[in-house]
Structure 1
Amino acid sequence: MIRWRRGEVVRIRREWPGAVELDVATEEGQARALAYPALVGRPEPGDAVLLNTTALAMGLGTGGYAMVVALPDRLPEDPHGPGHLVKARYTPLQATVPGADEQGSPHHEVLREADSLDGMPVVVADLHSALPAVLCGLYGSRPGVRVAYVMLDGGALPAWFSMSCARLREVGWLCGTVTTGQSFGGDVEAVTVHTGLLAARHVLSADVAVVTQGPGNLGGGTRWGFSGVSAGEAVNAAAVLAGRPVAALRVSEGDPRERHLGLSHHSLTAYGRVALAPARVALPELPGGFGARVAEQARPLGERHELVPVPVDGLHEALEASPVRLSTMGRGLEEDRAYFLASAAAGRLAASLLP
């Protein structure tokens, strides 16, 4: 289940809030590794490290790092401060974090009584790579709104893994990240997606929330065996809390897999089968035969949801101005324009719902 290796830090490659990327020498050669200082301490050149090299050996995409498990010769100090919410529970690296909804939190009283999102638009997307594209469409129509990112636990668990989140926070495109379920490392920690949405509204004072899983995606190539089914559950959560869910479609013109070409089966299952509450589905008005194909594929979703055609004029230019690199499954904007346009269309639709 786990490939364990020992190594020595050769150099620090780069770092961003919450994460440090390293070159580590092992008995098998040099490897690229990632450490989360909040969990293991900050590695320095010359430090001995204990590594989990499983994802690296398997050649997994976003998980293609050796992960630093410990600095055995230089353990970090014991944690200080509040926090009784345990995440990554009953694993060797379970961590306590200060949960917004736990007793003792300064936000506990607010969240204990909170039961409504007050009509806040909630954009739901399958993949983490949709987040910056959604924001491009949103800010292209409504600059200056406060947007919170609510991170599900279907992909990466540490929010620190996401360089996009760090940069979007830095440029002011996110007022904060809320990590829910077993995910952790956000500005606000919450037990469930429900309290995560309520925290976005009542703790971070967000005007809009964007919900996706963290970086990465688990899929087995079956109708139900993929982590993105959580998108349908997020629609239900937003609706039951009196939010206004906006569904971003996963669309691709560059994916070589037939099940994801045009409208992905992920969207059809998550929104068509899992989401029991109605949502506004952003249907991008893509040109030509490809656009007609996507519209036809999306038609069954109209039995439960409201299909809202969204013009895509000007969205490509907005996407080109993204403050973070746009990439999905290794494809950039020019390799898969439809994917990013569909996500940006959801942001544009959410903007139209704001007062």
Structure 2
Amino acid sequence: MMQWREGVVDRQIREWPGAVEYAVRLTSAEDTSSEVRALAYTGMVGRPEPGDRVVLNASALLKGLGTGGLAFIVAVPDRLPADAPDSPGHIVKARYTPQQQMFLAVDEQDSLHHHVLRDAESLEAMPVVVADLHSALPAIIAGVRRTQPDAQVAYVMTDGGALPLAFSRAVAGLKEAGWIAASITVGQAFGGDHEAVSLHSGLLAARHVVGADVTVVVQGPGNVGTGTPWGYSGVAVADVLHATHVLGGTSIAALRVSGADPRSRHRGISHHSTTAYGKALLSPAIVPVPASGGEMAALVRTQAAKLSETSRADLDIVEIGTEGLLDALRQSPVKLSTMGRGLEEDLAGFVVSAVAGVCAAERISAR
């Protein structure tokens, strides 16, 4: 159930494209002394100013969930934002909720790109890297750029985590630095440079509209896990690999790896990857692993070989050299963080993501 709060904007903390973070003083009778951080998506509620009364969704904040410790501004009731300019788009996302919005999708009839996607049938062997956690995104691209610095990289965001792309400060920073050529939000996710109705049309748009050499597909921030074999949002990586295979792309499955997670089921290759690639996946995929790197790299290679033997899919385990990858990761324009751990705290996870990027870059010229 949604938990509502009222408050008054005290001050702005920071902003990035599509989002502004504020300090908000709660004014509900039981919360008069409380101050919270609250996020406003400017495309949805406009741009609140200090002194504005705001209505908040505080459910996740009060539950202590991993949403960045934020409430969300639902409305500025005393000063509604102006209507957006009229658009021919009619694709509704966040459908049948009070927050539903209408977009011009890249694949719908009124789009300038409709004729391209109407006729597109193949990804033309474009490498598609698929990962479980949003935090893998900058590391994968660092690996791509280590091998092909000028590669055009598209990011396709699925709806397994955050729906608004603006929630991701990482995407904002990667775009500003030129590491991402364009973003595409598919399904119920929204806010990308292009909207697409389906994962399949989003992938085709990455190749034929954006002109991507490599596409990275990862859910938005805020993955869901329940500690059960199948109850986690990252299982959808198998669906992405199926779509890539159907469309004639080169499927590259990035492993979720950790050398520091306190939960044994995520040490080495996470059970999320072994379930998705070992049980849910039915189409062929390349699985990159580091060729060197000490005990953890050796463990990953051993686990990957076992995964290949037991998987229902045809997995091609490919060893990738790690030379220069640490420097490449340290040059990331955005902070590297996974489950609260930085690069030096959980090096293995970022390196394994980066080798997936290297693997993709090596296959650009092979197309």
Fold match (TM-score > 0.5): yes
Q: SS at the partner of 2:142?
A: helix
- Tell me how far apart the structure 2 counterparts of residues 286 and 63 of structure 1 sit (CA, whole Å): 35
Matches within 5 A, 1:246-265: 246-265=252-271
Question: Which range moved further: 240-249 or 289-298?
Answer: 289-298
Q: SS at the partner of 2:65?
A: coil
Structure-1 residue corresponding to 2:49: 44
Amino acid aligned to 2:36: A
1:55 lines up with 2:65 in the alignment: no
Structure-2 residue corresponding to 1:16: 16
Structure-2 residue corresponding to 1:274: 280
How far off is 1:295 after superposition?
Answer: 1.7
Amino acid aligned to 1:278: P
Q: TM-score, normalised by structure 1?
A: 0.98
Structure-2 residue corresponding to 1:349: 359
- Tell me how far apart the structure 1 counterparts of residues 347 and 199 of structure 2 sit (CA, whole Å): 30
1:210 lines up with 2:216 in the alignment: yes
- Tell me how far apart the structure 2 counterparts of residues 319 and 183 of structure 1 sit (CA, whole Å): 28
Asked if the contact 1:151–1:212 (Cα under 8 Å) also holds between the matched residues in 2, the reply is yes
Asked if the contact 1:285–1:309 (Cα under 8 Å) also holds between the matched residues in 2, the reply is yes
Matches within 5 A, 1:1-355: 1-27=1-27, 28=31, 29-79=34-84, 80-303=86-309, 304-355=314-365
How far off is 1:81 after superposition?
Answer: 1.8
How far off is 1:43 after superposition?
Answer: 0.6
Asked if the contact 2:93–2:100 (Cα under 8 Å) also holds between the matched residues in 1, the reply is yes
How far off is 1:83 after superposition?
Answer: 1.6
How far off is 1:293 after superposition?
Answer: 2.0
Q: Where does structure 1 lack aligned partners over 5 or more consecutive residues? A: none
Asked if the contact 1:301–1:307 (Cα under 8 Å) also holds between the matched residues in 2, the reply is no
**1:239-268 CA-partner distances (Å, limit 9, x unpaired):** 110000111110100100111011000111
**Number of residue pairs matched?**
355
CA-atom RMSD in angstroms: 1.0
Q: SS at the partner of 2:5?
A: strand
- Tell me how far apart the structure 2 counterparts of residues 275 and 76 of structure 1 sit (CA, whole Å): 45
- Tell me how far apart the structure 1 counterparts of residues 170 and 221 of structure 2 sit (CA, whole Å): 10
- Tell me how far apart the structure 2 counterparts of residues 274 and 85 of structure 1 sit (CA, whole Å): 30
- Tell me how far apart the structure 1 counterparts of residues 292 and 225 of structure 2 sit (CA, whole Å): 27
**1:285-326 CA-partner distances (Å, limit 9, x unpaired):** 343332222222212332421000112121111111111100
How far off is 1:63 after superposition?
Answer: 4.4
Q: SS at the partner of 2:342?
A: coil
4+ aligned runs moved over 6 Å, structure 1: none
Asked if the contact 1:122–1:243 (Cα under 8 Å) also holds between the matched residues in 2, the reply is yes
Q: SS at the partner of 2:260?
A: coil
- Tell me how far apart the structure 1 counterparts of residues 147 and 169 of structure 2 sit (CA, whole Å): 25
**1:180-215 CA-partner distances (Å, limit 9, x unpaired):** 010000000001111110011111111110000001
Q: SS at the partner of 1:126?
A: coil
Amino acid aligned to 1:19: A
Question: Which range moved further: 265-274 or 131-140?
Answer: 265-274
Q: Where does structure 2 lack aligned partners over 5 or more consecutive residues? A: none
